[in-house]
């Protein structure tokens, strides 16, 4: 992509109304534009990152055997009257009335709608287990929308719903979600810690939140430092192997890790003192087994092998896809700008032409762009007539992890520079070597 033909409205001044780094940087890097409080347009650069996160979520969900679909943003109020949540949800629920005076709402979540789909089409235990999910915009009329996309009113969420015959089956579905989430966050370059969460009035302890450590996080968290040493990695996972999945979940839930809502000071005190960590965290996901909370009032039952009718056991499992864009930036930036982890970067590599219009420089840049493209890698080529300093500042701000700089002096010896955004380390090498190195970094 040539920058001269792209739409990257970067902002030089620091926006005064943005309190945290990710919000400031997303505005400055031209990733988002506020449309109303807590509602954002995703400009092309931001949209690329959002789409990448979405793709990772889809891939990991489908590896776990979960089935994608799409439900609408607007829902009829009647479904929510059945569960009792139309009145119970409070002011966060955006209620809308259509021209025929029918009550509607902009979905903050989809338990009722998915339960309605289930009861319409599934009647037998033989059709279980079933996990359906979608990635769709949600609306919650938050009292204090803030921190940009981190606490928006309209936000993008993956929400998955599990249907099982028994509690044990539902716990296996829960475990599948825990594992697929751990892998998802790692692919995004994040360390997200599963923390035992508060299940509220439903009871039971089958809910975990996933928190990314960051000073600007809204939750206070307490954890055993040992959990930071765990890596999910590329280990093969057989999602049908119950004991195997449970063993991995046990490994990740053994070290103490809780938010202030469930914190147990006595248990925390039993951890060796040098491992007791207190910090803040950003909630990037939550998994929840809630049994028959919706299936019972809404009549979502199946027949058992013995011919009885029983309500299905359900769970719902969410990932904050749009919040993750902010969380990744909170976890990975410096005073010059964003530093994208390779797994989520909007472009694989930047190309800076130090003398636009110089035949050799232009040819070399075009060659690099073309050869990277031939290997499936997308470069953002700054081909503007701009000072070198301005081009570097833009690249540093938007945070592409690798930059190839092409200038007339180096090219005389057939050399370009490859710079790592994170360290600033720069190496001189031939054009071919730079292309190979970038390809190698991305494993292509």
Q: Could you list the residues that contact ligand ATP (CB under 6 A)?
A: 109, 140, 142, 151-152, 155, 157, 283-286, 318, 320, 322-323
- The minimum distance between CB 382 and ligand ATP, in angstroms, equals 32
Q: Which is nearer to Mg ion, 53 or 157 (CB)?
A: 157
Angle at alpha carbon of residue 267, lines to 261 and 269, rounded to 5°: 110
320 binds, among Mg ion, ligand ATP, none (CB under 5 to 8 A by kind): ligand ATP
Instruction: Report the residue number whose CB is nearest to ligand ATP.
Output: 320
- The minimum distance between CB 317 and Mg ion, in angstroms, equals 11
* Spatial separation of the C-alpha atoms in residues 384 and 354, rounded to whole Å: 10
- The minimum distance between CB 85 and ligand ATP, in angstroms, equals 13
* Spatial separation of the C-alpha atoms in residues 382 and 2, rounded to whole Å: 6
| Residues between 178 and 237 that touch Mg ion (CB under 5 A) | none
111 binds, among ligand ATP, Mg ion, none (CB under 5 to 8 A by kind): none
- The minimum distance between CB 193 and Mg ion, in angstroms, equals 14
Q: Which is nearer to ligand ATP, 144 or 409 (CB)?
A: 144
| Residues between 261 and 290 that touch Mg ion (CB under 5 A) | 286
Q: Which is nearer to ligand ATP, 64 or 135 (CB)?
A: 135
158 binds, among ligand ATP, Mg ion, none (CB under 5 to 8 A by kind): none
Q: Which is nearer to ligand ATP, 109 or 253 (CB)?
A: 109
Among 291, 292, 298, smallest CA distance to 78 is for 298
Among 269, 314, 310, 279, smallest CA distance to 161 is for 314
| Residues between 284 and 343 that touch Mg ion (CB under 5 A) | 286
* Spatial separation of the C-alpha atoms in residues 30 and 187, rounded to whole Å: 24
Q: Which is nearer to Mg ion, 119 or 140 (CB)?
A: 140
DSSP 413: T
Q: Which is nearer to ligand ATP, 151 or 333 (CB)?
A: 151
Q: Which is nearer to Mg ion, 112 or 169 (CB)?
A: 112
Provide the phi-psi class of 354: left if phi over 0, else alpha when psi is between -120 and 50, else beta. Answer: alpha
152 binds, among Mg ion, ligand ATP, none (CB under 5 to 8 A by kind): ligand ATP
- Terminal C-alpha separation, the chain: 19
Q: Which is nearer to ligand ATP, 109 or 166 (CB)?
A: 109
Q: Rounded to 5 degrees, what are φ and ψ at 94?
A: -85, 110
* Spatial separation of the C-alpha atoms in residues 163 and 127, rounded to whole Å: 10
Q: Look-up: residue for tokens 């033909």?
A: 5
* Spatial separation of the C-alpha atoms in residues 411 and 413, rounded to whole Å: 5
166 binds, among Mg ion, ligand ATP, none (CB under 5 to 8 A by kind): none
| Residue ranges of E strands in 189-346 | 192-196, 207-213, 219-224, 257-259, 276-291, 301-303, 309-311, 313-320, 333-334, 337-338
- The minimum distance between CB 322 and ligand ATP, in angstroms, equals 6
- The minimum distance between CB 379 and ligand ATP, in angstroms, equals 31
- The minimum distance between CB 73 and ligand ATP, in angstroms, equals 15
Dihedral sign from CA coordinates of 212, 224, 230, 236: negative
- State the maximum Cα–Cα separation within the chain, in Å, rounded to a whole number: 82
Site for Mg ion, rule CB under 5 A: 286
């Amino acid at each position: 992509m040539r920058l001269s033909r792209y739409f990257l409205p970067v902002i030089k001044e620091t926006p005064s109304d943005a309190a945290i780094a990710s919000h400031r940087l997303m505005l400055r890097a031209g990733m988002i534009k506020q449309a109303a409080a807590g509602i954002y347009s995703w400009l092309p650069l931001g949209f690329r990152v959002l789409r990448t996160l979405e793709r990772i979520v889809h891939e990991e969900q489908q590896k776990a055997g979960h089935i994608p679909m799409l439900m609408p943003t607007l829902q009829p109020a009647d479904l929510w009257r059945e569960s009792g949540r139309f009145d119970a949800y409070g002011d966060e629920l955006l209620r809308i009335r259509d021209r025929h005076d029918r009550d509607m709402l902009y979905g903050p979540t989809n338990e009722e709608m998915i339960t309605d789909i289930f009861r319409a089409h599934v009647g037998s235990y033989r059709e279980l287990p079933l996990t359906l999910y979608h990635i769709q915009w949600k609306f919650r009329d938050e009292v204090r929308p803030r921190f940009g996309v981190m606490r928006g009113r309209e936000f993008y969420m993956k929400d998955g719903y599990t249907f099982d015959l028994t509690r044990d089956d539902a716990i296996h579905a829960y475990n599948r979600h825990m594992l697929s989430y751990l892998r998802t966050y790692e692919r995004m370059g994040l360390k997200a810690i599963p923390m035992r969460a508060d299940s509220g009035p439903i009871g039971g302890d089958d809910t975990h939140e996933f928190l990314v450590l960051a000073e600007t996080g809204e939750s206070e968290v307490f954890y055993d430092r040992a959990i930071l040493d765990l890596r999910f990695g590329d280990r093969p996972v057989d999602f049908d192997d119950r004991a195997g999945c449970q063993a991995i979940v046990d490994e990740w839930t053994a070290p103490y890790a809780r938010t202030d809502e469930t914190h147990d000071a006595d248990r925390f005190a039993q951890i060796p003192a040098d491992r007791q960590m207190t910090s803040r965290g950003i909630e990037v996901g939550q998994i929840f087994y809630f049994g028959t909370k919706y299936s019972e009032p809404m009549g979502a039952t199946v027949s058992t092998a013995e011919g009885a009718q029983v309500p299905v056991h359900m769970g719902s499992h969410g990932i904050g896809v749009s919040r993750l864009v902010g969380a990744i930036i909170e976890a990975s930036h410096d005073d010059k700008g964003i530093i994208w982890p390779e797994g989520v970067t909007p472009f694989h590599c930047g190309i800076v032409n130090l003398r636009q219009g110089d035949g050799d420089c232009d040819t070399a840049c075009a060659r690099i762009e073309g050869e990277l493209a031939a290997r499936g890698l997308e470069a953002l080529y700054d081909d503007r007539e701009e000072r070198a300093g301005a081009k570097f500042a833009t690249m540093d701000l938007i945070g592409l992890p690798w930059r190839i700089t092409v200038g007339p002096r180096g090219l005389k010896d057939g050399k370009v520079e490859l710079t790592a955004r994170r360290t600033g380390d720069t190496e001189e090498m031939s054009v071919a070597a730079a292309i190979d190195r970038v390809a190698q970094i991305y494993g292509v």
